[in-house]
Every structure is written in C-alpha cells, then in structure tokens.
A and B are shown apart, each in its own frame.
Chain A
C-alpha cells in the first residue's frame, strides 16, 4: 500500500547556472519503513462570498493518531488566477495562529503534519470573495 511523492523544481532564474531539483519519497509510518495505511482521500472545497479564516482540516475530525509523526498534508489552489490566493495557517481560531504562506493559483504544498491537537488544525483564508476552490488530502497513520 505504498504512497509515493516526487517533486521536480526547475528554474532559469540564473540563466548561466542551470538549476533543478528532483526528490522522491515513500510515505512511511513514523520511525519505520511501514507504509502509511490511511487517507482522507482527495477532497475539495469551494469558497464564495467570504474572506475569513476557516478550518480546512480539523485534527479532531480526522482520524489521525495524534502526534504519531508520519502524517502528510497536500493542499492545492486549483484556480488559475495568480492574483488570488489562499493564506494557509496552523491552529484554531481561539489560539495562537501561525501563517505558513499563501497558495496562489495552481500553487501546491506538501508538508508533514504533527496533528497533536486543535493548535494544529489547518486553516485557510481566501483573498477574494469571488469563487475560489482548494483541493486537499491527508495521508496518515
């Protein structure tokens, strides 16, 4: 039941120095070489009419083993408009909120997720009240 992810980054920022990065990983349970065995599947949410922070992935609503350490989260802004983005945050609305960064049109992210408690809920905030869509998946223990 393998879950694998590969990234390729290429850039001509420095024309005289070719730049590329390639990396692959197999998602294992924490501290082992046993495959992750659970996932939320690929999900999608569409926002319209608001620009407030909302919880996208709720620790308590996701059947993760808290702090097990092997979880991974994929999020992508499926829009094509580079002027509109989703800010992505860690934490719930009543605690300290840390901004990770902004996913503009077509931008994606893949990161580990500790998912200890509600302080690590993943929240998003659309930059526009126009229709915006995000897709996401959690791969977990």
Chain B
C-alpha cells in the first residue's frame, strides 16, 4: 500500500498559555484503510489581469462523489499585499497572501466543486505551487 503522510506543526504565542498543535494523518481512500494512489503537482502563475480562472488543479475529475482527495496550495509571491482569492464554485473560501499555504480535503464531486483562483489587487502577479493527492481514477476505454 502506498503511504502518504501529512503532518502539521502549528504554534502561537498569542495567549498566555501558548498554543501548540501537532497533527499527522496517513491519507487514505474514502472510508477505507487503503492509501491514496495518485499525485498531480505543478506550478503556475496568475496575474490580476487574468481575471477569475478555474485552476488547472481545480477541475473536478471523474473521481466521482464521496471519494477522497487532498489539496496543498501555496502562494509563492513575495509582495505581502499580493493574494490569491480562492472560490469553491461561487463561494469564497478565503485569501492566500504571499507565502501562505493551505491544505484541505477536496470533495471533487461535480462541477460545483471547481476551485477558482484570482490574483489581487490591481497589478498583482502570484506564482503558486500545488499538489493534489487523490484516489485512482477509472481507466477510460481507448478511442
């Protein structure tokens, strides 16, 4: 079985008792103890002038409903005012400012699961990197 592990270390000294979170998970297919088997990764750049785009990693595949996938995305911009606005279909998740990353489970159920990105503010250009880990897709008959 392929083993993929995602580990988080988070610390904050905002409070008088510091917060320290350590979390680690072996990433499995939905509802079973078999590991994910597919990795898609890459990099891209989006500029504010590009407008709102469905990201190359953001197209729901033929994976189907209730399957497991995880997405890592990082904004590699260095200007702290530049951010990538991220929408899940037509609902805004939030903004990844320069250097920010996110790691989420992703339903990929249908086209309403598409991930849409947009660079902001005016004049911004944001390089980004992504890793999509998922279950194997059903092989298609050849044409």
Residues of A within 8 A of B (CB): 1-14, 19, 21, 23, 25-28, 30-33, 36-39, 41-42, 69-71, 74, 76, 82-85, 87-88, 90-91, 96, 98-104, 106-116, 119-120, 127, 137, 139
Contacts and interface: CB of A to CB of B under 8 A. Distances in A.
Interface of B: 2-15, 19, 21, 23-28, 30-33, 35-39, 66, 68-70, 72, 74, 80-81, 83, 86, 88-97, 99-109, 112-113, 131, 133
A127 B30 CA distance: 12
**Chain A binding surface, main DSSP class:** strand
Contacts, number: 206
A27 to B, nearest CB: 8
Contacts of A14: 39
Top 6 nearest A-B pairs by Cβ distance?
Answer: A101-B105, A112-B94, A11-B4, A3-B12, A106-B25, A108-B23
A39 B92 CA distance: 21
B7 A7 contact: yes
Contacts of B102: 109-112
A102 B93 contact: no
Contacts of A7: 6-8, 72, 101, 103
